[in-house]
């Protein structure tokens, strides 16, 4: 049980960090895009044997939200960000 909770905490840490960063006064579209890419990388590459169902659910939820983004706008903000 504790191993699963520890694994889940490690998987949710990037989500927590993204929320904290984007709640700041200086957050912009480039920051949001960077956090989404980091989150995608973490979810995809996280090695979990005992939470495979949760990982698949997280990937599906992320993909659903990713489709809602206007990627062109976020890429423009990312590349123009100083």
Number of structural domains found in the chain: 1
Least confident of 9-18, 50-59, 60-69: 50-59
d(CA 32, CA 42): 15
Average pLDDT, the chain: 84
Residue with tokens 């949001």: 32
HEC letters along 18-58: HHHHHCCCCCCHHHHHHHHHHHHHHHHHCCCCCCHHHHHHH
Domain limits for position 38: 2-80
Residue with tokens 């700041």: 24
Query: For residues 5 and 51, which has the higher predicted lDDT (pLDDT)?
Result: 5
Other Cβ atoms less than 10 A from the Cβ of 63: the count is 11
Residue 42 has pLDDT above 80, yes or no: yes
């Amino acid at each position: 049980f504790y191993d699963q909770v520890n694994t889940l905490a490690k998987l949710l840490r990037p989500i927590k960090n993204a929320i904290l960063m984007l709640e700041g006064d200086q957050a912009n579209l480039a920051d949001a895009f960077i956090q989404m890419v980091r989150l995608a990388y973490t979810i995809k590459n996280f090695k979990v044997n005992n939470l495979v169902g949760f990982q698949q659910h997280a990937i599906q939820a992320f993909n659903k939200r990713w489709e809602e983004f206007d990627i062109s706008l976020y890429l423009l903000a990312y590349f123009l960000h100083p």
